[in-house]
């Protein structure tokens, strides 16, 4: 199969079984002198969960990632979770499937904007992207933004449109369509 065919298959799988999420954590660190540092960190998560380990092994082989078994609840089937980690790996993963996503395209665009912030101290932008992801994932109302909805702007593209940067492997170019932040 071609790279495009593999990416299209993975996009369908991601649309059905995958998640893009941005998690906010509060940290408290204690310095040697006893003083405490309080801070906030944001983490991007790209995961696929499934009961068929073979298909996740195929994804790892062709696209990378780490596979782990999820804790089982009594009576449940065995579940596996594939995690893509590292900003460069997440960016490559997203760019490879973006032209083919149908259901989670907007989430992928927010995720791409987030991973491209790597190393930048822009907590306001990270929080806005986290809030956009919460709204897109229907994750409930966010206290931080008084439950206001987020308007997204995307270009109207046909199903046959492919992002040129994906096809030629240019990870630095900006894909078609952006989300307002």
Distance of CA 32 to the CA centre of its chain: 36
Reply yes or no on whether the pLDDT at 180 is more than 60.
no
* Residue indicated by tokens 């170019």: 173
Confidence of residue 45 (pLDDT cuts 50, 70, 90): very high
Each residue's pLDDT tens digit, 68-98: 998 878 888 899 999 999 999 999 999 999 9
The predicted pLDDT at position 139 comes to 63
Distances (CA, A) of 94 to 9, 70, 88, 106, 140: 13, 23, 10, 11, 25
Q: Which CATH superfamily is domain 3-168 in?
A: Homing endonucleases (3.10.28.10)
Reply yes or no on whether the pLDDT at 170 is more than 70.
no
Reply yes or no on whether the pLDDT at 24 is more than 80.
yes
Reply yes or no on whether the pLDDT at 166 is more than 90.
no
Task: Please check whether residue 47 is in contact with residue 82, taking contact to mean a CB–CB distance below 8 angstroms.
Answer: yes
Global pTM reads: 0.71
Each residue's pLDDT tens digit, 104-140: 999 999 999 999 999 898 999 999 999 999 999 986 4
Give ∠ CA 173-91-172 in degrees, rounded to 5. Answer: 20
Domain ranges within the chain, ordered by starting residue: 3-168
The predicted pLDDT at position 173 comes to 40
């Amino acid at each position: 199969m071609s790279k495009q065919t593999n990416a299209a298959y993975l996009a369908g799988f991601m649309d059905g079984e995958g998640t893009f999420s941005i998690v906010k954590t509060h940290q408290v660190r204690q310095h040697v002198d006893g003083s405490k540092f309080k801070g906030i960190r944001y983490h991007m998560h790209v995961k696929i969960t499934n009961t068929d380990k073979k298909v996740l092994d195929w994804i790892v082989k062709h696209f990378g990632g780490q596979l782990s078994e999820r804790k089982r609840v009594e009576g449940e089937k065995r579940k596996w979770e594939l995690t893509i980690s590292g900003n460069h790996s997440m960016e490559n993963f997203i760019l490879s499937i973006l032209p083919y996503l149908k259901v989670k395209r907007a989430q992928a665009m927010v995720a791409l904007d987030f991973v491209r912030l790597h190393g930048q101290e822009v907590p306001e932008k990270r929080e806005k992207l986290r809030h956009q992801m919460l709204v897109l994932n229907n994750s409930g109302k966010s206290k931080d933004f008084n439950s206001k909805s987020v308007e997204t702007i995307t270009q109207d593209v046909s199903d046959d449109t492919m992002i040129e940067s994906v096809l030629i492997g240019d990870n630095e170019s900006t894909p078609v369509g952006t989300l307002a932040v």
